[in-house]
Amino acid sequence: MFRTRFAPSPTGPLHLGHAYSALLAFDMAQAAGGSFLLRIEDIDQSRARPEWEAQIYDDLHWLGIRWPEPVMRQSDRQPAYDAVLDQLWSRGLLYPCTCSRADIAAAASAPQEGAPLLGPDGMVYPGTCRESADRTGRRPAGTSLRLDMAMALEGIDRLHFTETGTRAGEITISAQHLITEVGDVVLARRDMGTSYHLSVVIDDAAQEITHVVRGEDLFEATAIHVLLQQLLDLPTAVYHHHRLIRDETGKRLAKRDDARAIRLYRDEGKSPDDIRVMVGL
């Protein structure tokens, strides 16, 4: 069985990079006689807009992509995220953290620490709150919760997943890599009550995704997802991280790159096949 998904955030227009990702996943599902699902990743309610969501449906339809209804929307899924956070909290694997980005930058670049280390989530957390935080009682609300990476990896030496994309092969990640180069990632953001990592893992499992197709900018984050799957007894999908679509200067396209919005190509009279050619499909 092959079941994949496209999981855009409705925080801006779909651009060529999104079109490539969605078309590739859709084509792979068709070729395998499997399913393609759509999931709206709208946990960041300060940035998600209904008009962007409507535009996503419209652009994907125009591209010839079809998916089963109803579409899963992460903003409906907080109870599922809370249940998992409660579980991780009661296992002592989470701790509250009150550090701001500036606090982390200051602590991480203290003279004895050298240059701040960058991980898949930005600066690797130097651990300021780890020892002093109170992990007893009920899970606190309204504060960020970090995963105690070293504790989460107790008894785990290595993690593995199968990759079929640009770095195809059996991928092994050492526990040491996760501890020193990824660190205590935030699993519940103060302002959201969840995080990309937590939600994506719970929802890929809930949607029974067997193949995750997404850009290679998320390759490093996959180690976090595989660890969470192991901690939560969830299956690990096959991952397919694809090349990124870049502009003529080699810079990868960002959501803000409105000049390349699919909508604008449509307005110029381009066809879905033109888009396929532009992204190399």
The residues of the shown chain that bind ligand GLU, judged by CB under 6 A, are 7-9, 41, 200, 214, 218
Question: Min. distance of Cβ 218 from ligand GLU in angstroms?
Answer: 6
Please say which residue, 37 or 85, places its beta carbon nearer to ligand GLU: 37
For residue 92, with 0-12 CB atoms within 10 Å meaning exposed, 13-18 middle and 19 or more buried, which class applies?
exposed
**Nearest distance from residue 280's CB to ligand GLU, in Å?**
20
CB of 45 to ligand GLU, least distance (A): 14
Closest CA to 211 of 19, 40, 26, 15: 26
By C-beta, is 22 or 94 nearer to ligand GLU? 22
Q: Which is nearer to ligand GLU, 252 or 276 (CB)?
A: 252
Q: How far apart are CA 49 and CA 263, in angstroms?
A: 16
Contacts for 66-69: CB closer than 8 Å, 24+ residues apart: 66/36, 67/36, 67/37, 67/38, 68/35, 68/37
Shortest Å distance, C-beta 67 to ligand GLU: 15
- Calculate the CA 106 to chain-centre distance: 27
Tokens found for residue 77: 């899924």
| Residue (41 or 184) nearer to ligand GLU, CB | 41
Smallest distance from the beta carbon of 217 to ligand GLU, in angstroms?
8
Residue number, 148 or 203, with CB nearest to ligand GLU: 203
Between strands 118-119 and 122-123, the pairing is antiparallel
